[in-house]
């Protein structure tokens, strides 16, 4: 039986472009504290915990206080100026249209993450903040996420850790990257991404392809990607590409099929980038 569809999303540079708002907050913090911060450089390093960035500018004994002040100032400078990235709303809709639920798992302070989502009308069934690296892996496990979408190599490493555990149990979990941040496809694939999308506008089609290539209880794969990808299993567990010239998937030892062009599914016409691994 296929597990429930739970899709996790990162926030910064995955769902929203928060760079201008974060830069404005850094500048306000610098003005308030009298400590120089290169805001433009800082927003090219989004992803890791705030304290790591502040540690480059403040003495160690002042980092905690600076972080607290930054989070306090953040709603006034960052929320209204951070737009949703292309396809964000449609990605949430795609998950729910397929009977799934949405979880936002972010390294950002959770109350501020919720402010962004509320401002943009992006509704998630759950929001997990202050999750970075292994903490994202823990959050994925806790919420049963079988897909995680992010822009950072650390996002892909966290999701791939869950995927590798699931693979041992005969389940499929996908690490999906979007190239809307500061990391290119090669770096994201090297970090463990099964697929790299240009942005979230490609996510609904990718999700259809992924669900269509997921393994059934009998170890066969079904073509359900509405013209994007599919495969049919024969008596001996071999599969034939029957997706009307779009994409197909070869069989594994047990007769299950995997779309290996992205590690899950891919169509060159849709511009997805990926590799098996």
Going residue by residue through the chain, which has 277 residues, state the pLDDT in tens, using 9 for 90 and above: 678 999 999 999 999 999 999 999 999 999 999 999 999 999 999 999 999 999 999 999 999 999 999 999 999 999 999 999 999 999 999 999 999 999 999 999 999 999 999 999 999 999 999 999 999 999 999 999 999 999 999 999 999 999 999 998 888 999 999 999 999 999 999 999 999 999 999 999 999 999 987 643 324 433 333 333 333 333 333 433 333 333 333 333 333 333 333 343 333 333 455 533 3
Separation between Cα atoms, residue 175 and residue 154, nearest integer Å: 11
Q: What is the predicted pLDDT for the residue at 261?
A: 35
Q: What is the pTM of this model?
A: 0.78
Q: What is the predicted pLDDT for the residue at 87?
A: 98
Q: What is the predicted pLDDT for the residue at 84?
A: 98
Structure confidence by residue, pLDDT tens digits, 177-223: 999 999 999 999 999 999 999 999 999 999 999 998 764 332 443 33
Separation between Cα atoms, residue 229 and residue 241, nearest integer Å: 8
Tokens describing residue 55: 């540690």
Separation between Cα atoms, residue 35 and residue 211, nearest integer Å: 50
Give all domains of the chain, ordered by start, each with its CATH number: 6-14+84-270 (3.40.50.1000), 19-77 (1.10.150)
Q: Measuring CA to CA, how many Å separate 98 from each of 48, 159, 162, 164?
A: 32, 21, 22, 24
The SS3 assignment for 267 reads coil
Q: DSSP state, 151?
A: S
Structure confidence by residue, pLDDT tens digits, 97-121: 999 999 999 999 999 999 999 999 9
CB atoms within 10 A of CB 171: 15
Separation between Cα atoms, residue 174 and residue 18, nearest integer Å: 25
Separation between Cα atoms, residue 12 and residue 273, nearest integer Å: 21
CA angle in degrees (0–180, nearest 5) for 154-157-158: 85
β-sheet bridge partners, residue 239: 233
């Amino acid at each position: 039986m296929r597990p429930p569809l739970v899709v996790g999303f990162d926030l910064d540079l995955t769902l929203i472009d928060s760079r201008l708002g974060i830069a404005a907050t850094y500048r306000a913090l610098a003005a308030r504290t009298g400590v120089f911060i290169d805001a433009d450089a800082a927003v090219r390093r989004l992803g890791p915990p705030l304290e790591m960035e502040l540690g480059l500018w403040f003495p160690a004994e002042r980092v905690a206080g600076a972080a607290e002040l930054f989070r306090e100032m953040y709603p006034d400078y960052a929320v209204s100026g951070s737009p949703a990235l292309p396809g964000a709303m449609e990605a949430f809709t795609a998950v729910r249209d397929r009977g799934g639920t949405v979880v936002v798992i972010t390294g950002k302070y959770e109350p501020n993450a919720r402010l962004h989502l509320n401002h943009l009308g992006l509704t998630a069934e759950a929001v997990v903040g202050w999750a970075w690296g292994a903490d994202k892996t823990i959050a994925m496990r806790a919420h049963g996420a079988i897909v995680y979408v992010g822009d950072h190599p650390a996002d892909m490493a966290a999701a791939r850790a869950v995927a590798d555990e699931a693979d041992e149990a005969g389940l499929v979990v996908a690490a999906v990257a979007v190239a809307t941040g500061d990391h290119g496809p090669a770096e994201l694939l090297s970090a463990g991404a099964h697929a790299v999308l240009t942005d979230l506008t490609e996510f609904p089609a990718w999700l259809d392809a992924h669900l269509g290539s997921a393994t059934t209880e009998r170890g066969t794969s079904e073509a359900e990607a509405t013209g994007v990808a599919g495969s049919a299993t024969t008596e001996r567990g071999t599969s034939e590409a029957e997706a009307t010239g779009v994409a197909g998937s070869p069989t594994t030892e047990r007769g299950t099929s995997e779309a290996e062009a992205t590690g899950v599914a891919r169509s060159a016409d849709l511009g997805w980038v990926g590799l098996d691994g």
